[in-house]
Structure 1
């Protein structure tokens, strides 16, 4: 494969910026152009619902140092909206009508927070959390005594609730599911997070959905109403697929279908991060992951594919959270409602490791307030090791790995 002269990346988030940096690390000497909607240089998202929202920092973690792009000869075009891709002509078109050619194209268009399709769901006063500006604006509103209503008990909703309580706000969290994080962690671990937030003063309204929004409140499906000075909608994100769809790329599993090495159905077009429905060799199916590590690692990996390598992307999903005094890391991919849960340690003290087994193999592991076994947990998950529950509860994890 001849080396491309011009590689274009649509998306200036973690996945796109990681891909750009990795191209230079691999010695690529041609043009690298990154288009991004935001005015900010590429930054990472986790701090937006953690350190930045808590007030522990005033800026997110940058993907690269500010002078990196100039030194690496990466052209960073911010506040740029791409409106069309023509895979036949190998060009993209921006919102001003200007056409930009490419030899290879990487799509890293990320996601947009979902809105609820209910009356008032598009009110401008409803807050979502996706950008640094969102986070700083929300932080300014989380003052002592403020009434905060969070719709959604997933990761973002729980982290927003924890930050709001840190700032002295009163917090109510609504979700139609009966436990926070149940879909990801299952009922027992969902209880851990429910009890954690309750112990820190959060009021739960679980098992009830939202029927609509008003200027200063939320109407629930059971007919009750909640008043909020701040209402945050945290009901997940939708991958930004319009460009890929309109370009005729194959879609699957809610994302852009990519093969094991992150190639799309169009020649010389690749997709990474939130939008990539990846044919994952480890799991034997397509996997689409909306987490920090996936964006970073896929971005770095795709650089090799773009330059002619054929190595499959095999990294296991990873994510983490910090809420109050609970820190957690999760590795792997479990079906939490069906897989066997095995717990090692003290759940009541919130110092434990949870494992999910399927057919006797480790599918996922989550360490809570325990930090010594990370490498062993990663090895067990990557190997989908065959172990017994008793070995996981009592055995030496490093030896098992």
Structure 2
């Protein structure tokens, strides 16, 4: 679509008011969109940031007001209506979004920003126990926070980011914490062994009991239906007075499926975030878009990805040039360590370790595919991460030995790459670096 076609989108409805939806709304206005703009929010209040829920909010270092992505006045000033309610269906023939309470919103374009929902433990009847928690929304975090105030033993099922961040917060609050991870290592889906091992040692050094290859088979219940223990496959029972389940999330695609859109482990979208219906776009955790050097369709669960896709969608609907996607990045704070990741890691990547994860509090792991740099994990080094963002995603090759050499400053290496890139023909897919 070009700029001349943009006025056909006289009414845009954004379904979902998380990071992606909120950004899409304000970015549409920034791109010059002047039509009716409605942001449908399943919760009350203004859109809020979710990352602090498992960290600062649990610790009491951030309040509900601190979580607001933007002040309420911004939405009023920009003519963005925030409508509380849940969407039941999208009538593509008549271009109507139908809410659960019967209201209908006419649309010329819809942006789905429905996000994801926590995976539930299969075959376990624990949902009604008041001391069992999942963590996704502000209400979830508030309920968990209240439970932790009166608890002494927290068991966390799942050793991913949510589980580990919550474990760090709970230990800082003085609770006894046990993490049960079904895989042989922590963070197995998202990073490599050196990073997994570092975080296991970090948590254990702070008193967290980490159990790997721990298969949960059942639960014991006490008075009031509370879960009092988790039973493992080997017969061991782990006592608790609070339980958090953090075993990943799945995309919320039910609305897209009912609307007849193409869905495969996420709403399938193109480079402009358009679904199989060009009037319906999808962004954020619910969207599956070709990305990375191999252009494989992927869902990327991160704030940065949500922001990038929101800007792409806004550009697509206003006839602006589609922004070039940067390598996605992510962060996680646990105790005094900060992990920052950029690019797309897959288990088949070659890896180069810079520094010593066994002894250093700061190190990095670099991932290459066919000799080209595709991702990096940087622990507690903002300067190295700044260099990583410059290096990753540019088709850089021939740098493995230099990445491992701590005598070669990464900012110098990144500058060398930029200089080399300026001399590479536009039809080349690889930048060879000589330092």
Match 1:9 to one of 8, 14, 17: 14
| Alignment pair present for 1:346 and 2:356 | yes
Q: For 1:62-211, what aligned pairs fall within 5 Å after superposition?
A: 62-78=68-84, 80-125=85-130, 126-143=132-149, 146-211=152-217
Q: Distance in 1 between matches of 2:332 and 2:160?
A: 11
Q: Distance in 2 between matches of 1:114 and 1:220?
A: 19
TM-score normalised by structure 2 residue count: 0.88
Q: How many residues align?
A: 398
Q: Secondary structure at the match of 1:182?
A: coil
Q: Give the superposition deviation at 1:145.
A: 6.4
Q: Distance in 2 between matches of 1:100 and 1:307?
A: 20
Structure 1 residue runs without a partner (length 5+): none
Residues 118 and 213 of structure 1 are in contact (CA less than 8 Å); yes or no, is this contact kept in structure 2?
Answer: no
Q: Which residue of 2 aligns with 1:397?
A: 410
Residues 326 and 369 of structure 1 are in contact (CA less than 8 Å); yes or no, is this contact kept in structure 2?
Answer: yes
| Alignment pair present for 1:303 and 2:314 | yes
Residues 180 and 211 of structure 2 are in contact (CA less than 8 Å); yes or no, is this contact kept in structure 1?
Answer: yes
Q: Distance in 1 between matches of 2:351 and 2:403?
A: 11
| Alignment pair present for 1:258 and 2:258 | no
Q: Distance in 1 between matches of 2:151 and 2:135?
A: 21
| Alignment pair present for 1:378 and 2:383 | no
Residues 260 and 281 of structure 1 are in contact (CA less than 8 Å); yes or no, is this contact kept in structure 2?
Answer: no
Q: Distance in 2 between matches of 1:211 and 1:62?
A: 39
Q: Give the superposition deviation at 1:61.
A: 2.6
Q: For 1:195-344, what aligned pairs fall within 5 Å after superposition?
A: 195-214=201-220, 215-252=227-264, 254-280=265-291, 282-309=293-320, 311=322, 314-335=325-346, 337-344=347-354
| Alignment pair present for 1:362 and 2:373 | yes
Q: Which residue of 1 aligns with 2:44?
A: 39
Q: Distance in 1 between matches of 2:332 and 2:6?
A: 43
Q: Secondary structure at the match of 2:391?
A: helix
Residues 143 and 168 of structure 1 are in contact (CA less than 8 Å); yes or no, is this contact kept in structure 2?
Answer: no
Q: Distance in 1 between matches of 2:59 and 2:330?
A: 19
TM-score normalised by structure 1 residue count: 0.95
Residues 151 and 234 of structure 1 are in contact (CA less than 8 Å); yes or no, is this contact kept in structure 2?
Answer: yes
Residues 143 and 169 of structure 1 are in contact (CA less than 8 Å); yes or no, is this contact kept in structure 2?
Answer: no
Q: Secondary structure at the match of 1:372?
A: helix
Q: Distance in 2 between matches of 1:267 and 1:368?
A: 41
RMSD (CA atoms): 1.6
Residues 292 and 344 of structure 2 are in contact (CA less than 8 Å); yes or no, is this contact kept in structure 1?
Answer: no
Q: Give the superposition deviation at 1:223.
A: 1.9
Q: Give the superposition deviation at 1:98.
A: 2.1
Q: 1:142 to 1:2 in 2, by over 3 A?
A: closer
Worse overlay, 379-388 or 172-181: 379-388
Q: Give the superposition deviation at 1:377.
A: 0.8
Q: Secondary structure at the match of 1:216?
A: strand
